[in-house]
Structure 1
Amino acid sequence: MNGDLGTLARSLEGLIAWIRINARVLVQPAQTLQLGVIVLCIVLSWLFAAWARPRVDAWIRGLENRPKWQLRWLVVLRNRMGLAIFAILAWIAAGTFAQLYTFPSRRYLIVLAATIATAWFFIRIAAQVVRNRFLRQIVIWGLTAYATLYYLGLLDETAKALDGIAIEFGDFRLTLLAIIKAVIVTGLLFYGARLIAQTASQRISTNQDISPSMRVLTVKFLQVSLYSAAFFIGLKAVGFDLTGLAVLSGAIGVGLGFGLQKVVSNLVSGIIILMDKSVKPGDVISLGDTFGWIASLGARYVSVVTRDGKEYLIPNEDLITGQVVNWSHSNEFVRIDLHFGTSYHDDPHVVRKLAVEAAHSVDRVLKSRPAVCHITGFGDSSVDYILRFWIRDPVEGLTNVKGNVYLALWDTFKENGISIPFPQREVKILGGTMPSPAREQTGQPDPSSRGGDSSAGGA
């Protein structure tokens, strides 16, 4: 620890000495003139940017039928207009001083300011490739600090000062410089892993030779492998000893295994689902009261979207341990049963023929597979039938195709004089006096009336 404090003290002394030397240089007339020119460039760039921004905004709003990426880059350049103008003015001033003065020291500060401003501008432009706003700001400020220290010649002194700030536990020594390097290297590796994973995922997702379940499993495995490799390589690259980390992670894993049994069960169930291909994206399933199609397979849950737009996140464990109806597991053909009844006066042979014709008149009903109609019983007021037909697009819904077939049955039966009975109730009042109007209005029973008899009949 004493060595670290000594290194930190020496680094701070070097920084203070650098500030003192440059402070004495800046008070000289030549350097004072350059500082004045730099301040003038700052003022002029600010005034010009304030004047130009509203006009640039109006010009951007007037652009039509342009791609979004072009408009986005125009907005980025608009926001960096002041810095770009300052860099241009500083380089013009540096060129003018080069013509007026022979010695480079007479334009050194102006060239330094122009160089740093140019570096800042390109850093902010290049950082736009980072989509996340928070990470983009970290990248901008980190690279800005690095470029500024590099051009000022303070990079080595700053590195020594950061290396002097350390925490020690026995033989383990963790410095602030090592932490910064670890964050930078790991961040770059994670960014590279993300780009590779996205590119590979797009190609795998569009490969029709691979089943949907294997596509998801391959993408998940690739992502886990790349991110894990990026994390451990980043730590190893900056000198971290991974032996202690392996022991610590093992102990943490045992604790999490007891506390997160459900989570681990869902993760393992998700891998099993992907490997055995029991369900896959696009399948139509029924689980309890939930009926819909699988939108995506996650590491912990399966996303099922119903016809009414609701999205259910069903844990993977429920799909493994529960009874799931997969309407499109081995094929897309689904048989639908409809129950209806007709009057006893109608010929069952004609009814069966008309029902089959009505089913085949609906667009979504398959003509390649026969529809059949059978008598299931003789009811109290009707002859009961079951109509069976096939579809191959359950993802489009079942209720709507059932409704269309019912409408086709209604129209066909109406055209051919087939009646659909419904229960009717007839009330008879036997041997008593009619209820009085007063009691009828109050709703009280009439003592003189006797119980009624009811009977059911069919139309």
Structure 2
Amino acid sequence: MMSVDEIWFLFISFIESVLTPGWRQNQVLIVIGLAVACYCLHIVSGRMIENRVRAREGWSKLQLRMIVQVKRRMGLIWFAVLAGGLYMIMQQITWPSRSYFIGLAATLAAAWTGIGYATRLVRNRTMRRLVTWALWIYVTLYFVGVSDEVSTFLDDLALEVGEFRFSVLMLITAAVVIGALFTMARVVSGVTASRIRSNEDISPSMQVLTVKAVQTILYGCAFFIGIKAVGIDLTGLAVLSGAIGVGLGFGLQKVVSNLVSGVIILLDKSIKPGDVISLGETFGWINALGARYVSVVTRDGREYLIPNEDLITGQVVNWSHSNDFVRLDIFFGTSYGCDPHLVRKLAIEAATDVDRVLSHPKLPVCHIVGFGDSSVDYILRFWIKDPTGGLTNIRGNVYLALWDIFKEHDISIPFPQREVRMLEDAADSGFHGASR
């Protein structure tokens, strides 16, 4: 096995041979010429693909993403095709050694292109770049023939504490292996989640809980299998991990409390996606259940991230917990000169004619609740079944219906009036009294 000094000597020798006229220099010049030509072809073919896509409608998102990836790598694709074709021709008409570097360049271009497409499965951008560059470097060293020497060099750069040994090679290998396993876990969890969500026999809250449990198990197994696969012994870190766990337990009490509260919410099914809730000043519907918080979207488009602990310890009004029926109350008053029987009848009729107000099985009702100073006071109660459509707007529509029907039947709605009288004698008396 070659040492680092020997690898460096071979590199210097290669540079000197490239600078010396001969077939090696010719091959390098051919590779450079192919690279320039493929760059021009990349620009031209990219514009052709873009024009073709713009001229045709109805592309799906998946097709557009694939086309974008092909367009971005057209240069490498052209280089792999042209260099591979030239390599096969030169293999037939001249000595194999006179086309070695061209074949190597074609092989690397094809490998880099395949890696670029394969690593698109890694969703996290940072992890994808790390895996991509690691694989690019590895295949380059492998085809050049110095992968074993570089691996030995990286393995020698190690940190040793007692029996525990951690090298740069282990770090790189662990990142690549764990990244690949995480990608597989993401694909499997995505397929499993889609099937669970499509099962109507499972309640929404249990769907969320099952999906999160599957994701936790898959990602946890991927991490520990990856660590074990690269040869890292975790037993030496048991004491350190225990101390870290105790510290995190004290420092992350709120986080752990929210995580446990989230599991409790999913298990007792107190709230689920789509429910309409009120918590303090916040009124909206559940958009998503997270591990640490619940996303609540209000009617004005604001999205509140409410910690799970607040939903467990606080008083929450769930307007659609057991059913979607919601009763709303409206208070109003009419003058004493209006027939209360007619007022009740007209109020019920007005509420029934409003959209979203239920007329079956829960009918609107109207009752007298008191005799005020200037009006007879009533309460109008009606039911709706779609609280997600809003409460203020339906109240406003019922008020407008009451206004219209009362105006049509000459039902007056009194309002406080004050009468001010000026007593001339009293004013004069007060004025003279003040002047004396």
TM-score, normalised via structure 2 length = 0.91
Alignment match, 1:172: 164
Inter-partner Cα distance in structure 2 for 1:212 and 1:49? 49
Give yes or no for contact 2:328–2:381 (8 Å, CA) kept in 1: yes
Inter-partner Cα distance in structure 2 for 1:407 and 1:278? 36
Which of the numbers 175, 182, 190 marks the counterpart of 2:174? 182
Inter-partner Cα distance in structure 2 for 1:149 and 1:407? 78
Which of the numbers 41, 44, 49 marks the counterpart of 2:37? 44
Name whichever of 415-424 and 372-381 sits farther off: 415-424
SS at structure 1 position matched to 2:200 = coil
Name whichever of 369-378 and 113-122 sits farther off: 113-122
Tell me by how many angstroms 1:275 deviates.
Answer: 1.0
Structure 2 vs 1, CA of residues 411 and 243 (structure 1 numbering), >3 Å: closer, same or farther? same
Give yes or no for contact 2:131–2:176 (8 Å, CA) kept in 1: no
Name whichever of 32-41 and 303-312 sits farther off: 32-41
Instruction: Answer with 1 or 2: which has the greater Rg.
Output: 1
- Once the two structures are superposed, residues 35-58 of structure 1 have per-residue CA deviations (whole angstroms, 9 ceiling, x without a partner) of 333233233333444555555554
Which of the numbers 129, 148, 154 marks the counterpart of 1:156? 148
Alignment of 1:287-306 (within 5 A): 287-306=279-298
Name whichever of 133-142 and 408-417 sits farther off: 133-142
Alignment match, 2:420: 427
Inter-partner Cα distance in structure 2 for 1:275 and 1:60? 48
Alignment of 1:223-242 (within 5 A): 223-242=215-234
Tell me by how many angstroms 1:291 deviates.
Answer: 1.4
Structure 2 vs 1, CA of residues 45 and 449 (structure 1 numbering), >3 Å: closer, same or farther? farther
Alignment match, 2:377: 384
Q: Which amino acid aligns with 1:214?
A: M
Q: Which amino acid aligns with 1:257?
A: G
Alignment of 1:44-443 (within 5 A): 44-50=37-43, 53-54=46-47, 57-101=50-94, 103-368=95-360, 369-432=362-425
Inter-partner Cα distance in structure 2 for 1:213 and 1:67? 31
Tell me by how many angstroms 1:377 deviates.
Answer: 0.6
Tell me by how many angstroms 1:66 deviates.
Answer: 2.9
Give yes or no for contact 2:76–2:113 (8 Å, CA) kept in 1: yes
Structure 2 vs 1, CA of residues 255 and 164 (structure 1 numbering), >3 Å: closer, same or farther? same
Q: Which amino acid aligns with 2:340?
A: P
Give yes or no for contact 1:37–1:93 (8 Å, CA) kept in 2: no
Tell me by how many angstroms 1:108 deviates.
Answer: 2.1
Residue 431 of structure 2 corresponds to residue 448 of structure 1: yes
- Once the two structures are superposed, residues 280-338 of structure 1 have per-residue CA deviations (whole angstroms, 9 ceiling, x without a partner) of 11111111222111111122222211112122222222211111111111111111111
- Once the two structures are superposed, residues 83-118 of structure 1 have per-residue CA deviations (whole angstroms, 9 ceiling, x without a partner) of 2332233223223322322x4223222222222222
SS at structure 1 position matched to 2:420 = strand
Inter-partner Cα distance in structure 2 for 1:53 and 1:325? 56
Q: Which amino acid aligns with 1:183?
A: A
Q: Which amino acid aligns with 1:33?
A: N
- Once the two structures are superposed, residues 392-430 of structure 1 have per-residue CA deviations (whole angstroms, 9 ceiling, x without a partner) of 111111111111111111122122221111111110111
Structure 2 vs 1, CA of residues 287 and 48 (structure 1 numbering), >3 Å: closer, same or farther? closer
Structure 2 vs 1, CA of residues 133 and 256 (structure 1 numbering), >3 Å: closer, same or farther? closer
Structure 2 vs 1, CA of residues 149 and 317 (structure 1 numbering), >3 Å: closer, same or farther? same
Inter-partner Cα distance in structure 2 for 1:327 and 1:132? 38
SS at structure 1 position matched to 2:358 = coil
**What is the count of residue pairs matched by the alignment?**
431
Tell me by how many angstroms 1:28 deviates.
Answer: 7.8
Inter-partner Cα distance in structure 2 for 1:95 and 1:308? 66
Structure 2 unaligned blocks of 5 or more = none
Tell me by how many angstroms 1:61 deviates.
Answer: 4.1
Alignment match, 1:442: none
Structure 2 vs 1, CA of residues 407 and 230 (structure 1 numbering), >3 Å: closer, same or farther? same
Inter-partner Cα distance in structure 2 for 1:48 and 1:210? 54
Tell me by how many angstroms 1:213 deviates.
Answer: 1.3
Tell me by how many angstroms 1:193 deviates.
Answer: 1.4
Give yes or no for contact 2:127–2:179 (8 Å, CA) kept in 1: no
- Once the two structures are superposed, residues 334-374 of structure 1 have per-residue CA deviations (whole angstroms, 9 ceiling, x without a partner) of 11111111111111111111111111111211111122111
Q: Which amino acid aligns with 1:40?
A: G
Inter-partner Cα distance in structure 2 for 1:235 and 1:140? 20
Q: CA RMSD in A?
A: 2.6
Give yes or no for contact 1:270–1:299 (8 Å, CA) kept in 2: yes
Structure 1 unaligned blocks of 5 or more = 1-6, 436-445, 451-459
Inter-partner Cα distance in structure 1 for 2:341 and 2:86? 102
Q: Which amino acid aligns with 1:263?
A: V
Tell me by how many angstroms 1:25 deviates.
Answer: 6.6
SS at structure 1 position matched to 2:419 = strand
